[in-house]
Structure 1
Amino acid sequence: MNLRRLKYFVKIVDVGSLTQAADLLHIAQPALSQQLATLEGEVRQQLLVRTKRGVTPTEAGKVLYRHAQLILRQCEQARVDMEAAGRGLSGAVSVGLAPGTAAAALALPLIRTVRARHPGILLYLNETYGTTLSELIMNGRMDLAVLYGGKISVHGLSFLPLLKEPLFVVGPNSMPSPPDQVPLRMLGEMDLYLARPYNVVRRMVDEAFAAAGMVPRVVGEIESASTLKAVIADGLGATILPASMAAEVVASCDAWQCRIIEPVIEAPLALCQSDHLPLSEPAQAVKEILLELVTGLPHSLLAGEHHAAS
């Protein structure tokens, strides 16, 4: 297999059409079909199935597509690293930051520090849900991500614990405020707006309630931070959030926050990366900056430690 044929194959799968892929690659369709046939001959497998709507990969094609993406990405990174040798670090680095977490506070300092130290690095920040971020890293499409989780090992990923955020109940001032620290058992009758059950924080809340022989009274499931703030501001109910997000909601509207105790519930934030794809030199530099910034956050697990790039 040569790299050019792999590149052609990935483009065909991406667009789902030989004709469109040929146009995008600026080659004749018969020539592209011949390259595909040669590739299928080399691997002794049918890679694509032609349908009325275009082409779709076979099971063997899906496997090759995943590997081809990683191979092409590593080759491109090798080229970038060689060009960067002997001069300042340069190249693209992608970092995912899970919304509604302490990771959001890292965005601006990260941009500032990377620009000051490594102006040649093009930093791409993606704020989306942790499950999406981990999939992007697993597929080789993102370098690093800061997200909740890491307690359970996931094939293809490694997690470095960064901090543990205590959970708070947050409610509007139109609702009676519990004490500054509230036992979980006092929340059983409270109308709650929480994330969907697959969300890490929601799972922790459900597990804590279940361990106490209770079920949270969930009256709505909301993933949007702005909608959640609006619901609290409107006095429709309360929510349970990590410390950073709780403080943000309270600052945005007429609301209170109380730390949950008995038991204390802590959401683990971790740095996620591939466990088999090496980081590029620019990504290593950004990782080191991330670890430095986390050291200064409340509840950090890295305080006082020196972390060498690895």
Structure 2
Amino acid sequence: MDTRRLYSFVKIVDAGSITRAADILHIAQPALSQQLSALEAQFKQQLLIRSKRGVAPTEAGRALYRHAQLILRQIDLAHAAVDISGRAPAGSVSVGLAPYSMGAALALPLLRSVRERYPDILLHINENFGGVISEAIMTGRMDMAFIYGAGPLRGVQFEPLRTEDLFLIAAPGGSVPSGDGDVSLEELAGVPLLLPSRIHTIRQVVDAAFQHASLEPRVVGEIESVLTLISAVGADVGATVLPWSAARATLDVQNLVVRRIVNPTITVKLSLCTSDHQPLSEPAHAVHDLFHELITEFGEDVAFGDAAMESSKASD
């Protein structure tokens, strides 16, 4: 297959017009139309629907478009691997981190480690919801991600790395149940909660726990912004529910009430996700290995700061 035809086809679909694509590619329109005709002859399928407004892919065209993107990305990776052979890893690596997760604690150490060990790697960090990140990995727009969940999901490979308990986080003296130590789900039912929307894993597992116990959470606000959540919890607008690692990385936990939720314990799984149909580039492999190193280093502290919290309570 002539990969130039695939590249031209992708540009035509992106531009929505053969004329515009010809201008972008600096190719005469008849020559571009010939390439398209050759592709349609090769696949024995109509790939585009032509109209006065431009072109749109047929079902077969959409299938070819997805595969063409992956093929062209693999070619780019092959060129990059050959170019940097024998040298330190170099190139662009995109990493996704789920909000309200251990990713908040890993972002800065990961960025610092990449800068120190692999100065020729340009690290792109994207904090977004798991569904958005998973789609980016499937389509080849992102190399890896540290997100909630353990799959299965078509096109994505999940590598479970951590299971964390959820905690009630609230301003002291607010509307949280009195007492120290753990807090039961039944006690939590009356607490005004600030949670992410229902597409977020934390919200889903909290809702599921309440539903299983025939209880209803008192959600007073849905917040997707970490900065807004920090301000709202500190101002006692409501409490929130987070893993210890995320709470410690984003909130001033020393001056907040932090109580493990029990009866039942609510847990979330965190996984490192990569594509299951295209290999990682050399620089992406290097970043992948750094991820593992950092998670191991965070191990005891991230699992739960029991000792630190007990010490804090004793001093109070």
Q: TM-score, normalized by length of structure 2?
A: 0.88
In the TM superposition, 1:118-133 aligns within 5 A as 118-133=118-133
CA offset at residue 47 of structure 1? 0.9
- Greater CA drift, 59-68 or 242-251: 242-251
- Give the structure 2 partner of residue 230 of structure 1: 231
Do the aligned residues in 2 keep the contact of 1:92 with 1:122 (CA within 8 Å)?
Answer: yes
Do the aligned residues in 2 keep the contact of 1:159 with 1:273 (CA within 8 Å)?
Answer: yes
- Give the structure 1 partner of residue 161 of structure 2: 162
Task: Report the identity percentage.
Answer: 51
Do the aligned residues in 2 keep the contact of 1:194 with 1:221 (CA within 8 Å)?
Answer: yes
AA in 2 matched with 1:242: P
AA in 2 matched with 1:70: L
Q: Taking structure 1 as reference, are residues 44 and 246 closer, same or farther at Cα in structure 2, changes over 3 Å only?
A: same
In the TM superposition, 1:104-123 aligns within 5 A as 104-123=104-123
Secondary structure of 1:297's partner? helix
AA in 1 matched with 2:285: Q
Secondary structure of 1:296's partner? helix
1: distance between equivalents of 2:137 and 2:154? 12
2: distance between equivalents of 1:89 and 1:108? 20
- Give the structure 2 partner of residue 24 of structure 1: 24
2: distance between equivalents of 1:282 and 1:291? 15
Q: Taking structure 1 as reference, are residues 117 and 254 closer, same or farther at Cα in structure 2, changes over 3 Å only?
A: closer
- Give the structure 2 partner of residue 78 of structure 1: 78
AA in 1 matched with 2:155: G
Ranges in structure 2 where 5+ consecutive residues have no aligned partner: 304-316
2: distance between equivalents of 1:9 and 1:162? 40
1: distance between equivalents of 2:222 and 2:15? 35
2: distance between equivalents of 1:234 and 1:17? 53
- Greater CA drift, 101-110 or 141-150: 101-110
Do the aligned residues in 2 keep the contact of 1:229 with 1:252 (CA within 8 Å)?
Answer: no
Q: Deviations over 1:272-291 (max 9, x none)?
A: 01122111222111111110
1: distance between equivalents of 2:78 and 2:297? 33
- Give the structure 2 partner of residue 190 of structure 1: 191
Secondary structure of 2:221's partner? strand
CA offset at residue 174 of structure 1? 5.0
- Give the structure 2 partner of residue 37 of structure 1: 37
Q: Deviations over 1:54-73 (max 9, x none)?
A: 22111101100110000000
- Greater CA drift, 273-282 or 129-138: 273-282
RMSD: 2.0
Do the aligned residues in 1 keep the contact of 2:197 with 2:223 (CA within 8 Å)?
Answer: yes
Do the aligned residues in 1 keep the contact of 2:171 with 2:239 (CA within 8 Å)?
Answer: yes
2: distance between equivalents of 1:286 and 1:191? 40
AA in 1 matched with 2:147: L
AA in 2 matched with 1:31: A
Q: Taking structure 1 as reference, are residues 79 and 263 closer, same or farther at Cα in structure 2, changes over 3 Å only?
A: same
1: distance between equivalents of 2:53 and 2:194? 43
Secondary structure of 2:279's partner? coil
- Greater CA drift, 118-127 or 184-193: 118-127
Q: TM-score, normalized by length of structure 1?
A: 0.90
AA in 1 matched with 2:115: R
Secondary structure of 1:89's partner? coil
- Give the structure 2 partner of residue 308 of structure 1: none
